[in-house]
Structure formats: C-alpha cells, structure tokens
Structure 1
Amino acid sequence: MPCCSSARPVDAPVGRRRAMLALAAVLLLATGPVSAALESPAADPAQLALVRRSEGLFLSARLPLEISPTVEEVLRKGVPLHFLWKADLIQSRWYWLDKTVASVARTVRLAYQPLTRRWRLSYASGTPGAAGLQYGLHQNFDSLADALLSAGHVSNWKLIDAARWSGAGEQRVEFSFALDLTQLPRPFQLGLFNQSSWNISLQKTLDVPDQISNEAEPALPDSRSEDDA
C-alpha cells in the first residue's frame, strides 16, 4: 500500500501573510484604546511661511513630529511610513468659483534599515498613488529623531514658477500634511482609521504676500539652523 504523504508545507507568501496578520493583531492590541502613537503636528504649532520672489512662489515649513514606541516597533519590523505634503494655490473669484492656479505634492517615505540600523528618508514629487512615482533623493540618519526632524521640514519648496503665474488678484495657499494610512499593509489598516492618534493631518491656509521679497528663504518663527530636507 502506498504510504501516506506528509502534510504540504505552507506556501511562503501565505506564511508571510499569516505572520503579518499576527503582527498587526499584536500591535493593535498593544496600542490600547487611545494610546499615543504619533503626535499630531497640531499639538505643537506648525511653522509655515510663504515668500514671493521674482522666480515664483515658495513655501518653507517645519512641522513637529513625534513617534511612540508602538509606531517605532512597526517601523523596525520593516513597515515604512509615507508622509504626504500638498499645497494648492487658489485665486478668489467673486463672479465664479475659486480657481486652482497650481497644485503640487511631495511624498516623504520613512523606513528602517535593519542591516545598517539606520533610518532612511526618500523624497519624491507627487503621491504614492501616482503612476511612475520615483524617489529621486535619499537621506540616511543614525537616529529616528533626526529622521523625523527632516521628514517634517521643507525649505524653499517651489509652488509655482513665475513664468506660469501672474500673481494678480486675491490669492491664498491651502496647505495640507498627512500620514497616509492607505500605504500601510492592509492588515495594519484594520481599526487604525478609528484611532485619532493615527489620523495625523494638518491643514493651513496662508495668504500670498503682495510684495516681492529679496529674502533667500522665508523666515520661520523660532527657527533653528539645520540642514535643508
């Protein structure tokens, strides 16, 4: 009689999915009902400034980002975070709906590298959902604190080029910053949208300056000297 065959091994992809589900369940339980996972920039006043120069319109910002041990554990397990920056230049029109003159976005990806025990930031123009999104700039940091400091900082971000912008009329910039939970593996997304500590977002409206400035960079309140992101 033929002998009984041994049980079939679990496929590697299935095993990885099960491991991810188990890890997600453990981390969700570890957070508790309302544990602080990532500090919202709104908890500490964000520093944003616009400057209008002959070359165009530029934005500089410094957003305070703090991370909890729970989220740090997620990062150390190889799950990256994606921070989305977006700015819309809006022109007010009394006779019709307001006009979007320009819209720009950038993505900052934060990941941990276990082999080197360093933190890596990757920068790209656009959003993760955009086709062909390419990260053209990378930075490595020895500490998570330094990586978060850079992730929440942008200097001289060009919102629109002068050649495409008349600058006439009443205009404003609607700025937003958010942690994109949709970029997390699906098992990690379960229940996170109902936890306010994970719903990180900041929205600000800035008036466009009337005058052209000769400053090389907008002055941020309580600014400190640091490398540009």
Structure 2
Amino acid sequence: MTVFITRCWRSALRLALALTLGLSALSGPAHAGGIEPVRAQLSPSDDELVLSAEFALNLGPRLEEAVSRGVPLHFKLEFTLGHPRWYWIEEHLASRTIEYRLTYNVLMRQYRLSTGGLHQSFPSLSEALRVLSRVGALPVAPISALKPGESYAAALRLSLDRSQLPKPFQVDALADKDWQVGAKALRWQFVAPGTETK
C-alpha cells in the first residue's frame, strides 16, 4: 500500500513540475532593458565645447514596474575627453559626470526627474525617459584646452547606477537579469575646429 501511494505522489509531482516548466516557457521571461547611444556630437559654443547626445533607453518591464511602485532609480551620465599619444598613454583633458534620480509620486501621480537641485515632473514614465535620454548643449571642456586641427578621443555612457538601489533590490540586481540594464559606451574621434567661434 505504501509503495503504491509513493508511486502516485512521484508521478503527481512529475506532472506538476512538467506543467510548471511548460507554463513558464510559454509565458517567456521578462526582457531586461538596455541603454544604447544613438548619436553624440561635440561643438564649440562661445568659449566652451558642448555635448549633445541621444540614447535609446529601455528599462524593461521589471524596472518600469519598480519605479511605478515607488522605487527610486539612479542614472549616471559619464563623458571623457582625451588626447591620444603614440608614445605614451592617452592624455586626459576633461571629464563630466551627471547623476539623475527618477522617482514616482503616488499622491501626485507624477514621475519626477532630478539632477542636482533641478527637478522636473512628468505625467507619464515615457515622457520622463524621453527627457532623460537626451542631452542638449552640456558644457564639457573649455575650448582653450584644445589645439585646432588636433584629433581627440571622446567617450560617452549613460547607465543605471545599481549601487544606489535600496539594499534588498541590490541583491536582486546581481542575480536577476530583469534588474540589469545593459549600457553601451560610445567612443568616437573628434577633430578640434581650426578657428575658434566667437
């Protein structure tokens, strides 16, 4: 009698496991997001070199749900400018880092994008992400630091700062791909203009 019950339980467990695996395969995994640079441009403006850029930004369903439930997301925009040298390592000329914070206010039903002391509110997540994904006329270096006609190496990256997530979510971000947002860096060569713009 005991043998019969044990065999029934085993086959029932196998059936339940097969159904669970089958349903999870049908539903498919939630896709992790990604941040990819679409375009970037350096141009002179008065006595400064300014950066304009645009990113394709997709948080993925898990992070979109998290921010909509009140979990703050922090992003980091990193830019570096260097002068390649054939005889030594690249000469570092300028760098700029900007931190953004994206939150959702449940009472106001608005998304808020903050950087430094500046705050901007949006009625939808897509509008907040659209503003986050665009950089316009950001000063990155003085024109006087550049030699006209010389070639410089620029690098740009926008990424999710997982170290700023609340502690319980940091563990999930390490283990679960749905919490990871791939961020690609854009590297390009920039030739300093021959004449300064006044």
Q: Common fold, TM-score beyond 0.5?
A: yes
Task: Give me the whole-angstrom Cα distance separating, in 2, the residues matched to 1:60 and 1:35.
Answer: 32
TM-score, with structure 1 as normaliser:
0.66
Deviation for aligned residue 1:37: 3.8
In the alignment, does 2:21 pair up with 1:41? no
SS in 2 for 1:51: strand
- 2:49 counterpart of 1:57: yes
Q: Please identify which structure carries the higher strand content.
A: 2
- Aligned-pair CA distance for 1:212: 5.8
| Alignment match of 2:190 (pick from 199, 208, 213) | 208
1:166 aligns with 2:146: yes
Equivalent residue letter for 1:166: L
Alpha-carbon distance, 1:33 to partner:
8.5
The structure where helix makes up a greater share of residues is 2
In structure 2, stretches of 5+ residues that fail to align are 1-26
Q: Does 1:72 align with 2:54?
A: no
Flag the 1:119–1:88 CA change in 2: closer, same or farther, 3 A.
same
Output the amino acid matched with 1:170.
S
Residues in 2 aligned to 1:49 and 1:213: alpha-carbon distance in whole angstroms: 18
Closer, same or farther in 2 for the Cα pair 1:67/1:177, shift >3 Å?
A: closer
CA distance in 2, matches of 1:212, 1:54: 14
Q: 1:155 offset after TM fit, Å?
A: 0.1
CA distance in 2, matches of 1:187, 1:196: 15
Identity fraction in percent: 30
* 1:137 is aligned to 2:118: yes
Deviation at 1:187, TM superposition (A): 0.9
CA RMSD across the alignment: 2.4
Deviations 1:155-206 (A, max 9, x none): 011111224x133533111111111111101111114234455133120112
Structure of higher CA gyration radius: 2
After the TM superposition, which segments of 4 or more aligned residues of structure 1 sit over 6 Å from their partners? Answer: none
Contact 1:52 1:212 in 2 (8 A): no
